[in-house]
Amino acid sequence: MWQYVLRSKRFALVVLGAPLIGAISIGTSVSAQSWADIGNYSSLLRRAGTQTLVAKDCPSGLFGAFHAGRNALLLCSNNLRDDPAQVWTVLAHESAHVMQHCQQGPLLPDHQIGNALAQIEKQSLSAFQELRLYHQSQRRDEIEARLVQGLPMAEVEALFRGFCGDRLNRHAPKSIPAVGLGDG
């Protein structure tokens, strides 16, 4: 199934080579504190209608991907270390693509892209340099995703709620009316 998805034009990939491995742990403020934190954020994504999938057979170097047409986020367990910090970075990156999908466009106004690039360069020179590997048509989306992956978990969740909050409301379970609490 994912071979078909990988050929799609609307598929945003995180292909992380060896130089970026060091940038995976940008800092302790970015890392998930536990696997439970990652599970809770993944649940939030699912409540907004985004499938979260884990594959054990991704191509070498592929850590994660988002397919907008299927609204599916993929984490590649065969290429990720058993490390919540690394998994969180990839999850945050891919969730930025989910936010772009919710927004139906960029997350940042044009005049803030230069500041975003400066912030990415400060966080991780290798992440900054890797942006050159992307086609110009993908670069802005990748700038935003790399910026998001460097934010603390609480900020990423707040951004997700801001950009995709309407989906949370649509996909939220229907409330059950309380019995015996009438006007009367």
Please state, in angstroms and rounded to a whole number, the distance separating the CA atoms of residues 88 and 31: 6
pLDDT for residue 7 is more than 80: no
Mean pLDDT of 155-183: 71
Please state, in angstroms and rounded to a whole number, the distance separating the CA atoms of residues 126 and 23: 7
Sign of CA dihedral 111, 113, 114, 118: positive
CA distances from 158 to 8, 44, 99, 133, 180 (A): 30, 11, 11, 29, 36
Tens digits of per-residue pLDDT, 43-84?
999 999 999 999 999 999 999 999 999 999 999 999 999 999
Where does the pLDDT of residue 34 fall: very low under 50, low under 70, confident under 90, or very high at 90 and above?
A: confident
Enumerate the domain spans of the chain: 2-163
Quote the radius of gyration of the chain (alpha carbons, Å): 17
pLDDT given for residue 169 in this prediction: 78
Higher pLDDT, 4 or 163: 163
Tens digits of per-residue pLDDT, 84-116?
999 999 999 999 999 999 999 999 999 999 999
Share of the chain above pLDDT 70, in %: 74
Tens digits of per-residue pLDDT, 134-153?
999 999 999 999 999 989 99
Q: Indicate whether this model's pTM tops 0.95.
A: no
Contact 74, 65 (CB under 8 A): yes
Higher pLDDT, 180 or 112: 112
Higher pLDDT, 126 or 7: 126
